[in-house]
A and B are shown apart, each in its own frame.
Chain A
Amino acid sequence: MELHDRLPSRGIANNDQAEFDPGASDLPPPDIFDPVVEAYKKDIDRTLLISNLRKPVAERLAKFQNFMNALGEMRGAALPPDLREKLFGKQ
């Protein structure tokens, strides 16, 4: 989410006095057919999704945090020592 993101139009074209809809029913349903999304979907590795769906939420989050920590360490390792120490402290 970016700071400059703004609300889209509520889709009320002809009736400014229309009642506010807390359910935001003017949004398309989540499974609406979209050819662009369909094109992207072909490249999705569903085995990963299925494997995650079988895990409890706590395990999904732990796996993610471990991955992010490892990623951080790898990034740190690629930095010059002085910059690494400045960003991550003495290791």
Chain B
Amino acid sequence: MTEFEKIARVLAAGDVRFIVIGGWAAIFHGLAHSTYDVDVVYSRDRDNIRRLVAALKPLHPYLRGAPPGLPFVFDEKTVRNGLNFTLDTDLGKLDLLAEVPGGRSYDELLPHSKEMEVNGIKYRCATLERLIQMKRAAGRPKDLEILAALVALLEERRKMEKGESS
């Protein structure tokens, strides 16, 4: 079972620059659905990769779905030479993404994210508007239901902001 908040706590405590996206970000914004992994976009700068590796290494990250025994070393070189990693960790499933459709890189997503403080942890989350754009850009049929729910959520939030909600 993925420990969502604990993963965020580990990354935040390690001073890692990351933005929460995907299902968990949608839950931040008020969506009611289930998700099984944490999706984060991380900054690719060298210092951040160093901090990312230092923070996650104690969680024994391993490529999700890879056969046991496959030589995989989670270190700075691996992260620098790779891009997107889908990992199993001691705290659950974590997708480390350097580039995503619609959101693209950390630096491009940064203006479309907002900082949140939850239970003493500060981290950034993609805005609801950008989450919708990212889902559209991904163009996966399986996302249509979630996309519709996100659009409905945006409509309800706007109504609430205008004082129109019942």
Q: Which of B4, B112, B156 contacts A64 (CB 8 A)?
A: B4
How many chain B residues touch A (Cβ–Cβ < 8 Å)? 57
Contact A49-B31, Cβ < 8 Å, known A8-B101, A30-B129 = yes
Q: Mark A60-81, 1 if CB is under 8 A from B, else 0.
A: 1100110111011000000000
Give A36 to B3 CA distance when docked, in angstroms: 34
Whether A48 is near chain B, meaning CB under 8 Å from some CB there, is yes
CB distance from B72 to the nearest CB of A (A): 14
Chain B hits for A71, CB < 8 A:
34
- Find out whether the CB atom of A49 lies under 8 angstroms from the CB atom of B149: yes
Q: Mark B118-148, 1 if CB is under 8 A from A, else 0.
A: 1100000000111011001111000011011
Q: Give chain A's interface residues, CB within 8 Å of chain B.
A: 1-3, 5-8, 22-24, 27-31, 34, 36-38, 40-41, 43-46, 48-50, 52-53, 55, 57-58, 60-61, 64-65, 67-69, 71-72
Q: Give chain B's interface residues, CB within 8 Å of chain A.
A: 1-5, 21-22, 27-28, 30-32, 34, 36, 39, 84-86, 95, 97, 99-104, 107-108, 111-112, 116, 118-119, 128-130, 132-133, 136-139, 144-145, 147-149, 151-157, 160, 165-166
Extra pairs beyond A37-B144, A55-B30 (12, CB < 8 Å)? A24-B108, A24-B112, A27-B102, A29-B133, A30-B133, A34-B136, A48-B32, A49-B156, A60-B28, A61-B27, A67-B34, A68-B36
3 closest A-B pairs by beta carbon, nearest first, are A40-B148, A52-B30, A30-B132
